[in-house]
Each structure stands twice: as structure tokens, then as C-alpha cells.
């Protein structure tokens, strides 16, 4: 989350007339994250999140995201619920940007990831995947492998400003990943994935997972790719060392709800390598093209360059502590 667009008192008064949530008491910008402008909206009745959609979010995708969150909430996945106005509509225009209000989820995201957090995350992700199987809409992953090459090309020689030789190293690695990547006809299970389930998108209270947020990268892709993203996001220690115990607890929890097929397990090292590449490229792009007027700064690409190099040496999930 972040703040790119300031919302005036006049804008808030206009917005309030569309909803039955009482008087707006306060509206405070949330500075974490990098994609959209987010505000904690306190009214006389309850707390909500106001989001103005910016940067990578295609306005044409917003109905999909709103419908998906509503579907997940109705199927037992703890996530924000979009709020409808008097006119029955969810999406608004605020400060010239598409916007929506969702329910506020209680809890905090973990600043220090423990094995217990990973054990909670696994079943939560598996339940999301199972709930998504019944969702009747699809959305192509607009940050899938075919977009990585275009993203790399858009970065171009400026990658050398981050690290000499990086452009060629990424090019070589993209060639290797692309040649091995499963296509849509592969037997790997496909369905709705979150695609960005990092620790700041998962809330906990007293060690229990209470909510999943930020579904604005959700799409249809390999379910195991979502798992690979979580291995990258949750199972490395702060020093950058892969923690096999965290990975084992995460996967054990996941498989207590949904068992992985053999082909999914076999594909995990490659998918984890690809996931590291995806976040390396988007972080590198943001590092080279920093957002303006936001109360945040781009995240360091080096983290995912190191993770990518780690996964290059993995050929079997046993090396992750997964069986």
C-alpha cells in the first residue's frame, strides 16, 4: 500500500454521499506498499479501506477483482469485501482515479517471519486455491513469463546502473527459464492464484491467520506457481538463507488442505526460479523508474537477484526440505 494521490475534504464529502456508512470521522493515508493509494477510512459506523487504483492496475480488470473478493469472502476466505453504494455500484471515481471502498480487516502483518507463521500460511493459501476452483471467471496473468522478456527489454541497458553485467545475466537466465517453462497445456493444475502473497498481505492475530489482502495481481495460472511465490516471500531468513523448516511447515500446512500432485512437486524448483525472476524484474523496473509523489520508496532488487541465484542450484524439492 502507498499514497500517490491526495484526497481532499471536498472529495471525501462527495464520496460519503454515495454510501450508508455514517459520517466520515477521519481519513489517514497508509504508507506501506508500492502499487495503489490507500487510506484508512474511519466513519461513525465502522472502519474501511479506501483505495485509488494507480500504476499497474488496469481499470478494465477492476470488476474481476471486486467480484473475486466477494466470491472468496462468501466461500470462507478471510479477505476484504467490496462495499456497494446506494446505487448498487462498487467502483467510483475519486480525484480522477478509479476507486473502491472495502471492509477493514483486523490484524497485523508479521515483521519477523516465524515457522509458526508459515504453518498458518499454508492452509490459508490452499483454501484460497480450493475456493477459486468454483469461480467462473478467468484473468490472464499479465506478469507471466511472456511479459518478463518485454519487461527486461524495457529496462534495457539501465540494468547496468544497478549492477554491471546484470543485463546479460538476466538475458541468459530468461532464455534458460523460458525453454523449460510449462505451457498452458501442461498437466499442472491451473486456477485462480493470488500472485502476490507476501507477508504484508497476510494478517495475524495471536499467531493465527485472520486475513488475506491485496488481490490486484490475482489471475489464472498454475497453482504451484503461487506456492513458488510464497517460498520466495516467506521461507528465506533475514540474512538471505533459505530456511527448510519454514518451507516444510508451509508445505505441510498447505497439503493438509490440498495435496500436490507429483508433477506439481517436480515443477516447484523451476517455478520458484521463475517467481524470483518476476519480482527481480518488477523491482528493478521500479528502482530505475521510481514513483513520484508517494510516501514510499522502491524495494531493493538485490534480494530477488540473490534468491534467483539460489534457486538455480536446486533440482529437487528435497533441497527445500519438502517431500
Give the domain CATH number at 38: 3.30.200.20
Q: Which residues have a Cβ under 8 Å from the Cβ of 99 and sit 6 or more positions away?
A: 15, 50, 51, 52, 53, 91, 92, 93
Question: pLDDT tens digits for 163-186?
Answer: 999 999 999 999 999 999 998 778
As a whole number of angstroms, the distance between CA 235 and CA 113 comes to 8
Residue 303 belongs to a domain: yes
Residue 166 belongs to a domain: yes
Residue 110 belongs to a domain: no
| Residues 205 and 291 grouped into a single domain | yes
Last residue of a domain, one of 76, 103, 130: 103
| Residues 122 and 202 grouped into a single domain | yes
Domain of residue 269, CATH code: 3.90.1200.10
Q: Residue 1 above 60 pLDDT?
A: no
As a whole number of angstroms, the distance between CA 31 and CA 28 comes to 9
Residue 37 belongs to a domain: yes
Last residue of a domain, one of 70, 103, 136: 103
| Residues 239 and 144 grouped into a single domain | yes
| Residues 187 and 279 grouped into a single domain | yes
Q: Grade residue 56 by pLDDT with cuts at 50, 70 and 90.
A: confident
| Residues 89 and 129 grouped into a single domain | no
Residue 1 belongs to a domain: no
Triad 167, 170, 171: Cα angle to 5°: 85
Q: Which residue has the higher pLDDT, 56 or 234?
A: 234
Out of 51-60, 102-111, 292-301, give the one with best mean pLDDT: 102-111
Q: Classify the C-alpha dihedral 21-24-30-36 as positive or negative.
A: positive
Residue 278 belongs to a domain: yes
Question: pLDDT tens digits for 117-154?
Answer: 999 999 999 999 999 998 999 999 999 999 999 999 99
Last residue of a domain, one of 60, 78, 103: 103
| Residues 156 and 189 grouped into a single domain | yes
| Residues 184 and 266 grouped into a single domain | yes
| Residues 99 and 149 grouped into a single domain | no
Question: pLDDT tens digits for 304-320?
Answer: 999 999 999 999 999 99
Taking Cα atoms as reference points, which of 212, 208, 70 lies closest to residue 128?
212
| Residues 120 and 99 grouped into a single domain | no
| Residues 138 and 96 grouped into a single domain | no
52-56, 147-151, 279-283: least confident range: 52-56
Domains held by the chain: number: 2
| Contact yes or no for 145/274 (Cβ under 8 A) | yes
Q: Grade residue 206 by pLDDT with cuts at 50, 70 and 90.
A: very high
Domain that holds residue 17: 9-103
Question: pLDDT tens digits for 265-278?
Answer: 999 999 999 999 99
| Residues 160 and 193 grouped into a single domain | yes
Residue 47 belongs to a domain: yes
| Residues 136 and 194 grouped into a single domain | yes
Residue 209 belongs to a domain: yes
Q: Residue 2 has what pLDDT?
A: 62
Q: What is the DSSP code string of 192-219?
A: EE-S---GGGEEEETTEEEEE---TT-E
Taking Cα atoms as reference points, which of 160, 172, 309 lies closest to residue 240?
309
Amino acid at each position: 500500500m502507498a499514497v500517490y494521490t491526495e484526497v481532499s475534504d471536498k472529495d471525501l464529502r462527495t464520496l460519503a454521499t454515495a454510501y450508508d456508512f455514517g459520517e466520515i470521522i477521519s481519513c489517514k493515508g497508509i504508507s506501506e506498499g508500492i502499487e495503489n493509494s490507500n487510506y484508512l477510512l474511519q466513519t461513525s459506523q465502522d472502519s474501511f479501506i479506501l483505495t485509488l487504483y494507480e500504476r499497474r492496475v488496469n481499470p478494465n480488470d477492476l470488476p474481476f477483482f471486486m467480484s473475486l473478493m466477494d466470491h472468496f469472502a462468501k466461500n470462507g476466505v478471510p479477505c476484504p469485501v467490496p462495499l456497494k453504494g446506494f446505487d448498487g455500484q462498487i467502483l467510483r471515481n475519486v480525484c480522477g482515479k478509479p476507486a473502491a471502498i472495502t471492509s477493514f480487516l483486523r490484524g497485523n502483518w508479521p515483521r519477523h517471519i516465524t515457522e509458526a507463521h508459515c504453518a498458518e500460511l499454508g492452509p490459508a493459501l490452499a483454501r484460497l486455491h480450493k475456493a477459486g476452483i468454483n469461480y467462473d471467471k478467468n484473468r490472464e496473468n499479465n506478469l507471466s513469463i511472456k511479459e518478463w522478456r518485454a519487461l527486461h527489454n524495457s529496462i534495457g541497458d539501465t540494468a547496468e546502473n544497478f549492477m554491471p553485467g546484470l543485463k546479460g545475466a538476466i538475458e541468459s537466465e530468461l532464455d534458460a527459464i523460458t525453454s523449460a517453462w510449462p505451457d498452458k497445456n501442461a498437466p499442472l493444475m491451473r486456477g485462480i492464484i493470488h500472485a502476490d502473497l507476501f507477508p504484508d498481505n497476510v494478517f495475524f492475530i495471536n499467531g493465527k491467520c485472520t486475513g488475506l489482502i491485496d488481490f490486484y495481481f490475482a489471475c489464472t495460472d498454475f497453482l504451484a506457481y503461487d506456492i513458488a511465490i510464497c517460498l520466495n516471500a516467506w521461507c528465506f531468513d533475514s540474512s538471505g538463507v533459505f530456511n527448510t523448516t519454514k518451507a516444510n511447515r508451509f508445505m505441510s500446512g498447505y497439503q493438509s488442505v490440498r495435496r500436490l500432485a507429483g508433477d506439481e512437486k517436480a515443477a516447484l524448483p523451476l517455478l520458484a526460479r521463475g517467481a524470483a525472476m518476476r519480482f527481480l524484474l518488477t523491482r528493478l523496473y521500479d528502482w530505475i523508474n521510481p514513483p513520484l509523489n508517494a510516501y514510499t520508496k522502491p524495494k531493493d532488487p538485490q534480494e530477488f537477484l540473490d534468491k534467483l541465484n539460489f534457486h538455480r542450484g536446486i533440482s529437487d524439492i528435497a533441497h527445500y526440505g519438502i517431500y
